[in-house]
A and B are shown apart, each in its own frame.
Chain A
Amino acid sequence: MNKLNPLYESISYQSAIGIAIVSAVFSIVIATLVAVNVYSNEVSVPVRSTELEKMKEQAKANPTDQTLAELILQTDTQLRRDQFAGLYFVKRGTILLVVTLVLLVGSIIWAVSHHPKHPEVSPPLDLKTHQVRQASLTRTTLSIAAILLCSVALFWVLHAPQIEMDADDGGAVASLYASAEEMESQWPVFRGPGGLGICHFENIPDTWYGPSGKNILWKTPIPLPGHNSPIVWNDRIFLTGATEDKQQVFCFDADSGKLLWSGDVSIPANPARDDMDIMEDTGHAACTAVTDGRRVCAIFAGGDIGCFSADGNLLWEKHLGIPDSMYGYAASLTAYEKNIIIQWDVGYDEGDESKSKLISLDWQTGNTVWETHRPVPNSWSSPTVVKIAQEYQILTTASPFVIAYDAKTGTELYRTECIEGDIASLPIFSDNKIFAIEPYNKLVAVNTENASGDVTETHILWETEEEMPDICSPVANGQFIWTLTTEGLLGCYNVTDGEEVYTHQIKGSFQASPTLVADTIYLLAEDGTTLIVGTGSEYTELKRNELGEKCYASPAFQDDRIYIRAKGNLYAIGTAE
């Protein structure tokens, strides 16, 4: 028995080693085959086949080619067949591989157990010092490890942005882009929602006096000059200001008037900038910015656009080039869903081709989404986005056209040839009509119902040839439309037929457009006086409030607030508690 045991051990060991070698060879062969198969299958995945992709591209260019379609179908089917055949092979190969691996590991264990390692006894240690050294080493390395861990944690703490979630941040903001409905609940563009100059709040203050501070909630200096109007989104007010060598966007806190941040928009070196023809009355920051609550975007006289996050981080800049604009570029921005809309009316090139276009930029990236050529010269008017017959349209005015575009695609929907001159007033929409002003001369009403293509002959409802404004935009309440000239002539006309209801000469000069608040109209004169007049069929002055500082920009209205940009300061007017 004693003699048999070593023999048995030897045979067992030899057999185990033999099985291990055979199963190892098998494992290698199977694993190689499986791996090769998998990697070759990877190459032939239909979505990665360049051949198939090429054919698909060809099919896109030539969608009626039935032979090509058939070929694509055959190729795709074949690739998928190859894929599934490969997967079947891999599955079977895997099972075989697992079996051979089990055999391999089992035989190794068997071999090791029949060829045990003889215990080796190391020379005896000096246990006294060894123990102490081991304990000391353990304490030292543990302490080092703990210090390292703490350092890593501290580094992480100190160098990582601390993310604080404030439930108030989310209030009204519900998506990455503002919906049209959301825009209508704020004062996000020049003259408020749709550029209509209509305030939807009825609790607007009607009494204040600047010199004494009565109902003036706060007054904050504006760092740079500009004629653009304030825009408001919840508790933030945005303005821009510029000089020849500095362009900035400002954000103020609506509650305190504190300047929260200011962001620079760069001025690229361009020799043509020296030739810019900018009137002092226009200035470098005449264009009102646009906000969707998440971002604010501004354009300046030199065609420089800057977009900032609501927290003041510069997201992107874009430079459209120096506009060829007499007086200075002044078109305010507007927005629709994911896009910013720019009315880039900049005259003709040397070949008498219009360079004007309507541009749509992506809010997030500043990339051009679409551009639509406009057959018009310079204009100083701004585009407005309004809902007409359940669709959002962009309305524009520039000599000689009123043109409506699809707000999503920028496709021209219809146009009317009805106005001439240097157009600055915005078109407004009321009672299914677009009202446009030809400076000094006439007010035109265009029917929007079933309008398509050139509707000059069919859709002009009426024209009123009276003294009309050259800067201020009109305001309408569905029954009457009011116009206000720079010299203070307030005209009231019936929207149905354009009949004059009354005209009234107000003493003073006006650049700010009128705003409709419930059944009153707020008229802000250059000297800072705001007249509140009734909306009846006769001129009725209800109140008169003085601010005590010159004003050129149209005010912004929000819940229980009026924000007025005066020459050097931004004012918040409210009901003082």
Chain B
Amino acid sequence: MRLTRRALIILILWLCCTVPALSIQRFPPPEFDTDHTIPTATQPPARALAWEVLDVAILCAALSLASWLVLKKRSRRWIVVLMLFSLAYFGFWRKGCVCSIGAIGNITLAIFDSSYAVPWTVLAFFFLPLVFTLFFGRIFCAAVCPLGAVQDVVLLRPLNISPWLETTLRLLAWLYLSAAVLLAATGSAFIICRYDPFVAFFRLSANPAIWIISISMLIIAVFVGRPYCRFLCPYGLILRQLGRISKFRVTITPDECIHCRLCEGACPFGAIEKPTVEWPRAEYPRGRKRLITLMILLPVFIAAGVWIGYKLHPRLAMNHPTVWLADRVKLEQAGVYKEPVDQTQAFYTSGQTLEALYEAAAEKQKQFALGSAAAGGFMGLIVGGTLLAHSIFWKRSEYEAQRTGCVACGRCYNYCPRHRKWLIGKKEEIN
């Protein structure tokens, strides 16, 4: 069995490496006259309304079904089936778009730019999983998200990630969310979509940099359970927060925890919380002092974040095409760059004045100054808040799935003897 697994891991890794070969190739037309008429570039037509309705209907149905499978049916097998369907439909068939995760960019831009209209499907894809999470926990991650599904499918040899490492690595996700919101709010880029690590597989086409990211992520996913979901996914962060207050949620046991400890190693995502015991008595005064210090320092963390964010704004602003163009033109004017690039050449022939370009870039930089400061402050709050959260004693008497970290995959069900007994009872009921 061990040998088979190793062979499978090697096989999957090897196959991953061959996938980039499937990218579409293009080359210029011949330099001589032919009978062939070269088609003119056209915009792809908008997706028909019926298909859009179907997409949203399928999303709604998948979320409902996932809720039922996770909370009522408690069947890992059927969750996997639904997950594979979602992977096939939302991933390979719909080519990873529209996607709830990427919708963060659209929604953010719509908030900050009144001239930007969000398609209703994007709204639906953004809000439906949030609503379902509010009621049923992270069932979207369990069986509907194609990105989660592709990672779940390749998870063969999960390594145990310590909670401290998990918490620390999650800072990356907060950073990614802050950057994604900042860049979308300023109209610079939808980085979540641009750097989607799995869309290359769904479309079998991407540039080499994305292929490297995608393959690396998939290789990591073989050993680390859902690395993108846990350490990068910005939408996952929102779902985590909603999961805290969800009305219903996954439970390892259908009724009572008998503290058998069989589920301790069940979760490859480290989302099973053990019961806690009182801290050593000597720890309390120290803990209290630490808590007070951190509470006092929290505004300092925020202020430091604001300052660093503000200072970074000229560099961050370079992600906006106008600022980049203005900067490039300026450097070309100064002779730092000897030759114009396509973008600057296009600008020079456009007849626009540099004054207008610099004015637009300066305006964008102002927006970045504000946005970067806010993002920096937010990061300060996250760091301070997380430190505070880990300075508090949380009382727990049972083994339970984390409200935030559990992706409702249902792996832990079969580990629980109470679940097995519950299943036998259900079968007997049916018979």
Q: Which residues of A contact B (CB under 8 A)?
A: 17, 20, 24, 27-28, 31-32, 34-35, 38-39, 41-42, 45-47, 56, 69, 72-73, 76-77, 80, 83, 87, 90, 94, 97-98, 101, 104-106, 108-109, 113, 115-116, 119-122, 124, 127-129, 131-132, 134-135, 137-146, 149-150, 153-154, 156-157, 160, 162-171, 173-176, 294-295, 307-311, 313, 315, 364-365
Q: A98 and B21 in contact (CB under 8 A), knowing A83-B27, A128-B278, A160-B315?
A: no
- The answer, among A94, A141, A146, A162, for a CB contact under 8 Å with B204, is A94
Q: List 20 A-B contacts (CB under 8 A).
A: A28-B15, A34-B18, A35-B18, A83-B27, A87-B25, A97-B15, A104-B11, A106-B84, A119-B265, A119-B266, A121-B264, A122-B265, A128-B280, A134-B164, A138-B390, A150-B308, A153-B312, A169-B330, A175-B348, A365-B338
Chain B contacts with A in 372-427, Cβ cutoff 8 A: 379, 383, 386-387, 390-391, 414-415
Secondary structure at the B interface, as helix, strand, loop or mixed, is: helix
Residue of B nearest to A171 (CB): B355
Given A129-B280, A149-B171, A165-B361, 17 more A-B residue pairs with CB atoms under 8 Å apart are A17-B4, A38-B21, A38-B25, A56-B31, A97-B22, A121-B262, A124-B261, A139-B387, A140-B164, A142-B171, A163-B314, A163-B318, A165-B323, A167-B355, A167-B359, A295-B335, A313-B336
In the complex the two chains form, is B276's CB within 8 Å of A149's CB? no
Residue contact A309 to B279, C-beta cutoff 8 Å: no
Which residue of chain A lies nearest to B263 when distances are taken between CB atoms in the complex? A119
Chain A's closest residue to B83 (CB) is: A109
Assess whether A135 is in contact with B391, with CB atoms less than 8 Å apart: yes
Kindly list chain B residues whose C-beta atoms are within 8 Å of the C-beta of A104.
Answer: 11
Please determine whether B383 and A157 come into contact, CB atoms closer than 8 angstroms.
no
Give min CB distance, B311 to chain A, whole Å. 4
Question: Does residue B344 face the partner (Cβ distance < 8 Å to A)?
Answer: yes
The yes or no answer to B277 lying at the interface (CB within 8 A) is yes
Tell me the bound Cα distance from A154 to B154 in angstroms. 38
| A residues near B92, Cβ cutoff 8 Å | 98
Interface residue count for B (Cβ, 8 Å)? 90
- Cβ contact within 8 Å between B22 and A294: no
Q: Once bound together, how far apart are the Cα atoms of A124 and B275, in whole Å?
A: 12
Q: Is the CB of B414 within 8 A of A34?
A: no
B56 within 8 A of A: no
Interface flag for B168 (CB, 8 Å): yes
Indicate which residue in B275, B277, B353 contacts A174 across the interface (CB closer than 8 Å): B353
- Counting from the closest, the 5 A-B pairs by CB-CB distance are A170-B354, A170-B355, A309-B335, A138-B164, A38-B21
Tell me the bound Cα distance from A315 to B332 in angstroms.
11
Chain B residues within 8 Å of A176, by CB: 332-333, 340, 344, 348
**Nearest Cβ in chain A — how far from B320, in angstroms?**
11
In-complex Cβ contact of A135 among B1, B204, B390 (8 A): B390
Query: How many Å lie between the Cα of A315 and that of B331 in the bound state?
Result: 12
State A175–B308 Cα separation when bound (angstroms). Answer: 35
Q: How far is the CA of A115 from the CA of B5 in the complex (A)?
A: 12
Task: Count chain B CB atoms within 10 A of each CB in A153, A295, A309 and give the residue with the most.
Answer: A153
A153 touches B308 (CB 8 A): yes
Q: Name the B residues within 8 Å of A150 (CB-CB).
A: 304, 308
In contact, B362 and A166 (Cβ under 8 angstroms): yes
Partner of A131, one of B76, B167, B279: B279
B358 near A165: Cβ-Cβ < 8 Å: yes
Contacts of B357 in A (CB 8 A): 170
Asked if B255 CB lies within 8 Å of chain A CBs, one says no
Summarize A's interface: helix, strand, loop or mixed: helix
Which residue from chain B places its CB closest to the CB of A311 in the assembled complex?
A: B334
Q: How far is the CA of A90 from the CA of B25 in the complex (A)?
A: 11
Q: In whole angstroms, how far apart are the Cα atoms of A307 and B7 in the complex?
A: 64
Question: What residues of chain B lie closer than 8 Å to A174, measured between beta carbons?
Answer: 348, 351-354
Chain A neighbourhood of B11, CB < 8 A: 24, 27-28, 104
Asked if B415 and A156 sit within 8 Å, CB to CB, the answer is no
Q: Which of B15, B387, B391 contacts A101 (CB 8 A)?
A: B15
- In the complex, chain B residues whose CB is within 8 Å of the CB of A120: 265
| Chain B residues within CB distance 8 Å of chain A | 1, 4, 7-8, 11, 14-15, 18, 21-22, 25, 27-28, 30-32, 76-77, 80, 84, 92, 153-154, 156, 162-165, 167-168, 171, 175, 204, 260-266, 274-280, 283, 304, 308, 311-312, 314-315, 317-318, 323, 326-327, 330, 332-336, 338-340, 344, 348, 351-359, 361-362, 365, 379, 383, 386-387, 390-391, 414-415
Say how far B247's CB is from chain A's closest CB, in angstroms. 29
Residue of A nearest to B21 (CB): A38
Is there an interface contact between A310 and B163, defined as CB atoms closer than 8 Å?
no
Report the Cα distance A307→B338, complex, angstroms. Answer: 13
Q: Are A294 and B333 in contact (CB under 8 A)?
A: yes
Residue numbers in B under 8 Å from A94 (CB-CB): 22, 204
Interfacial chain A residues near B264, Cβ < 8 Å: 119, 121-122
Complex alpha-carbon distance, A101 and B87, angstroms:
13
**A27–B17 alpha-carbon span in the complex (Å):** 13
Chain B residue contacts of A17, Cβ below 8 A: 4
Which A residue sits closest to B337, measured CB to CB? A364
B294 closest partner in A (C-beta): A139
Residue of B nearest to A134 (CB): B163
Please name all residues of chain A whose beta carbon is closer than 8 Å to the beta carbon of B351 when the two chains form the complex: 174
Q: Across the interface, which residues of B come within 8 angstroms of A101, CB to CB?
A: 15
Given contacts A73-B32, A127-B277, contact A34 B168 (CB under 8 A): no
Closest Cβ–Cβ distance, residue A140 to chain B (whole Å): 8
* Contact in complex: A157, B311 (CB < 8 Å): yes
Taken together as a complex, chains A and B put the C-alpha atoms of A380 and B80 apart, in Å, by: 88
B318 touching A313, Cβ below 8 Å: no
Q: Which residues of B contact A106 (CB under 8 A)?
A: 84
**Bound complex: CA of A94 vs CA of B21, how far in Å?**
10
Which of A128, A139, A150, A165 has its CB near the most chain B CB atoms (within 10 A)? A165
Q: How far is the CB of B308 from chain A (nearest CB, A)?
A: 5
Contact, CB under 8 Å: B261 / A121: yes
Looking at the assembled complex, report how far the CB atom of B92 sits from the nearest CB atom of chain A, in whole angstroms.
7
Contacts of B386 on A, CB cut-off 8 Å?
A: 142
Q: How far is the CB of B199 from chain A (nearest CB, A)?
A: 15
Question: In the complex, what distance in Å separates the CA atom of A168 from the CA atom of B361?
Answer: 12
Question: Quick check: A34 and B304 within 8 Å, CB to CB?
Answer: no
Bound together, the chains give a CA A365 to CA B340 distance in angstroms of 12
* Residues of A contacting B8 in the complex (Cβ-Cβ under 8 angstroms): 20, 24, 108
Query: In the complex, which residues of chain A have a beta carbon less than 8 angstroms from the beta carbon of B15?
Result: 27-28, 31, 97, 101
Q: Which residues of B contact A294 (CB under 8 A)?
A: 333-335
Which residue on A lies nearest to B154, using beta carbons?
A105
Contact partner of A137 (CB less than 8 A), chosen from B1, B164, B262, B266, is B164
B162–A137 CB distance below 8 A = yes
CA distance A129 to B279 in the complex (A): 8
In the complex, which residues of chain B have a beta carbon less than 8 angstroms from the beta carbon of A35?
18, 21
- From A31, A122, A143, name the one whose CB has the most chain B CB atoms within 10 angstroms: A31
B77 touches A113 (CB 8 A): yes
Contact of B25 with A45 in the complex, beta carbons under 8 Å: yes
Task: Tell me the bound Cα distance from A86 to B171 in angstroms.
Answer: 45
Contact A166 B333 (CB under 8 A): no
Q: Does B333 lie within 8 Å of A167, measured CB to CB?
A: no
B415 lies within 8 A of A132 (CB): no
Q: Which residues of B contact A115 (CB under 8 A)?
A: 1
Q: What is the CA–CA distance of A131 and B279 in the complex, to the nearest angstrom?
A: 8
Beta-carbon nearest neighbor of A120 in chain B: B265
Point out the residues of chain B lying under 8 angstroms from A56, CB to CB: 31
Q: Report the Cα distance A7→B304, complex, angstroms.
A: 65
B387 x A142 contact (CB < 8 A): yes
A45, A98, A135, A294 interface centre (most CB from chain B within 10 Å): A135
Q: Which residue on chain A has the smallest CB distance to residue B260?
A: A121
Pick the residue among A20, A34, A307 that contacts B22 (CB under 8 A): A34
- Which of B164, B335, B339 makes the CB contact (< 8 A) with A141? B164
Closest residue of chain B to A31 (Cβ to Cβ) is B18
Given contacts A132-B279, A171-B355, contact A146 B323 (CB under 8 A): no
A131 to B156, CA, bound (A): 29
Select B326's contact among A119, A132, A165, A313, beta carbons within 8 Å: A165
B168 pairs with A39, CB closer than 8 A: no
A121 — which chain B residues lie within 8 A by C-beta? 260-262, 264
